[in-house]
Amino acid sequence: MDIINKMLTAIRGGARELGEAVVDAQSIRVFEQEIVDSKENLERAKEGLTELMARKIATERKLTSCGSRIKENEEFALKAIEQGDDSLALEIAAKIAQLEIEKDQTVAELESYSQNVEALKVQIKTAQKVIAEHERELSVVKVKESVQQASHSVTQTVTFDQSSIGSAKETLQQIKDKQQLEQDKIDAGIALRKELEGDDLDTKLKAAGIKQDAHSADQVLARLKAKTQVAS
């Protein structure tokens, strides 16, 4: 029962570690994908900035053209005044007024483009710094993850080896205990047989010197000496 509980505990622990590993790996992938998405958004922002800058250039060109036309019409109006043609001068003046309104609108449009371009440049530079920092952090996180995985693998291997060594020692001790038990059974069987056949009693008598072996060397020598004495 204890072994089963240990197995269940190990399974639960392994599942928890696996779940944490999946979450960690998923977090890294999510972070990496966020960087990819940010870089794509940054590229779109650069494209938008390029378009705004192009519109700004076009507006600057329009403003220059408008200024040139105003200057040109002012010269025409002055000539008309010099010639005393007030009606023509008034007509030219009306056109100049219209061009000046257009110029003011173009100036406002240009200022708007300029502000947006500068603001977007700042945002893009900031985003580039943040993305670069995140890429550095991602590299560090990946390296740490690799090191931790390697360390975890080594730890698991060492733990497994130690567990295997401990298990082998237990198995060896079990074998020794079993062999000793078998030897004890054999010794007990021999002792029992001797006791049942009387061998044990003879052994005890001989050990006490009460009973001697009839075929011992001492007995044979004593018998031969006795025969010699009788013959003489």
Q: What are phi and psi of 212, to 5 degrees?
A: -115, 155
> What pLDDT shows up at residue 57?
95
pLDDT at 209: 64
Residues 119, 57: Cα–Cα separation, whole Å: 17
Residue 58 belongs to a domain: yes
Task: Establish if 185 belongs to a structural domain.
Answer: no
So what's the pLDDT on residue 55? 94
Question: What is the pLDDT averaged over residues 196-224?
Answer: 62
Residue 223 domain-assigned?
Answer: no
Rounded CA separation 17/26 (Å): 14
Distance CA 36, CA 103 (A): 44
Over residues 189-199, the mean pLDDT reads 64
- pLDDT at residue number 12: 43
The length of the chain in residues reads 232
For residue 10, the domain's CATH number is 1.10.287
Q: What is the pLDDT of residues 198-207, one digit of tens each?
A: 555 566 666 6
Q: Look at the chain and report how many structural domains it folds into.
A: 1
Largest CA distance in the chain: 198
Q: What pLDDT, in 10s, does the model give residues 10-31?
A: 434 444 444 444 446 688 888 8
Answer whether 74's CB lies under 8 Å from 89's CB.
no
pLDDT over 50 (residue 217): yes
Token reading at 1: 């029962």
Inside any domain, residue 45:
yes
Which of 62, 48, 142 minimizes the C-alpha distance to 99? 62
Provide the Cα torsion 94, 96, 98, 101; round to 10°. -140
Q: Is residue 115 part of a domain?
A: yes
pLDDT category, 50, cuts 50, 70, 90?
very high
Digit-coded pLDDT (tens) for 135-147: 888 888 888 777 7
Task: Flag whether 90 is in a domain.
Answer: yes
Q: How much is the average pLDDT of 61-70?
A: 94
- Asked, for residue 203, whether it belongs to a domain, the answer is no
d(CA 75, CA 90): 13
pLDDT beyond 80 at 229: no
Cα 156 to Cα 151: distance, rounded to the nearest angstrom:
8
Q: Please measure the distance between the N-terminal and C-terminal CA atoms of the chain and give it in whole angstroms.
A: 87
Residue of 67, 41, 51 whose CA lies nearest to 113: 51
Give the chain's mean pLDDT: 76
Nearest-angstrom CA–CA distance, 96 and 85: 16
pLDDT band of 174, cuts 50, 70, 90: confident
User: What pLDDT, on a 0 to 100 scale, did the predictor assign at position 6?
Assistant: 40
Q: Which residue range is the domain that position 36 belongs to?
A: 2-175
- 123 by DSSP, 3-state: which? helix
In-domain check, residue 213:
no
User: Which one-letter DSSP state was computed for residue 195?
Assistant: H
Instruction: Report which DSSP code applies to 211.
Output: S
Tokens of 195: 């006791």
**pLDDT single digits (tens) 85-136:** 889 989 999 999 999 999 999 999 999 999 999 999 999 999 899 888 888 8
